[in-house]
Amino acid sequence: MTDVVDSDELLRRLQRARSWAGREEQTWKARSEELRAGDPDSARDAELRGHTYEAVRRALDEIVTPGVHEGVHDGAG
């Protein structure tokens, strides 16, 4: 990253990345459900990818809104 950006632009970029990670998380978790009966190996791979994007989204959540997520566990993982 060679561009100098102000804090507002950085926040916008983080929020876009968080939204993207959330969409990818939902896409892969849904794909896992679709594959579960017919292709268990691919379903596990898709589920793992979903959890990976969930971890990225949660990390970005904490950067964008620090401390809000402490002790909060939605039961998803």
- pLDDT, tens digit (0-9, with 9 covering 90-100), for 7-59: 999 999 999 999 999 999 999 999 999 999 999 999 999 999 999 999 999 99
- Burial of residue 28, with CB atoms counted within 10 A of its CB: 0-12 exposed, 13-18 middle, 19 or more buried: buried
Q: What pLDDT score was predicted for residue 67? A: 87
Confidence bin at 3 (pLDDT 50/70/90): confident
- DSSP label of 75: S
The structure tokens 């970029």 sit at 13
16 vs 77: which has the higher pLDDT:
16
Q: Is the pTM of this model over 0.85?
A: no
Q: How confident is the model at residue 72 (pLDDT cuts 50, 70, 90)?
A: low
CA dist 49 and 47 (Å) reads: 5
Predicted pLDDT of residue 77: 46
